[in-house]
């Protein structure tokens, strides 16, 4: 068969140009990197708060009588469909990816060292909210 006589007809008037260019891909990646940078700041505001923010939140907890598993701080984030490294992650694993952690235990340990007589933990919600909770030890 002689392939030189084969022709394709574009009956739908669809552009047969490139589906993506390097510039397109770089722009998408830049948007993802920016989102991840913004989300890292949000994550750190809860799980690596400065002393003043943490102390003020703990004082608020004290003023209401130290309820068990009190939501001290929280953050809501929506992971992108695909992260800048090309991986697809659910909310929990996206949070770990942002924090460069394998699990939350080391981060919680770091927070627990900063206080006495109380213990930190975290909860996740189905609305992509990550809560830092505190209880009396």
- 14 inside domain: no
Secondary structure (DSSP) of 40-69: HHHHHHHHS--HHHHHHHHHHHHHTT--TT
- 68 inside domain: yes
- 2 inside domain: no
- 7 inside domain: no
Count structural domains, the chain.
1
- 112 inside domain: yes
- 10 inside domain: no
pTM for the structure as a whole: 0.77
* Rounded distance between C-alpha atoms, residue 129 and residue 79, angstroms: 11
Range of the domain at 39: 19-136
For the segment 22-43, what is each residue's pLDDT rounded down to a tens digit?
A: 888 888 888 899 999 999 999 9
- 4 inside domain: no
* Rounded distance between C-alpha atoms, residue 88 and residue 84, angstroms: 9
Rounded (5°) CA angle 131-134-137:
150
For the segment 69-112, what is each residue's pLDDT rounded down to a tens digit?
A: 999 999 999 999 999 999 999 999 999 999 999 999 999 999 99
């Amino acid at each position: 068969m002689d392939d030189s006589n084969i022709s394709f007809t574009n009956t739908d008037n669809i552009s047969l140009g490139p589906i993506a260019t390097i510039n397109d891909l770089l722009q998408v990646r830049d948007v993802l990197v920016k989102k991840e940078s913004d989300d890292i700041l949000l994550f750190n505001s809860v799980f690596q708060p400065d002393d003043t923010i943490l102390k003020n939140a703990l004082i608020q907890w004290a003023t209401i009588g130290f309820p068990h598993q009190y939501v001290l701080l929280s953050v809501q984030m929506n992971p992108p469909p695909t992260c800048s490294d090309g991986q697809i992650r659910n909310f929990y694993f996206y949070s770990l990816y942002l924090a460069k952690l394998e699990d939350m235990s080391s981060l919680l340990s770091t927070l627990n060292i900063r206080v006495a007589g109380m213990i930190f933990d975290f909860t996740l919600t189905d609305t992509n909210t990550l809560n830092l909770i505190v209880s009396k030890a």
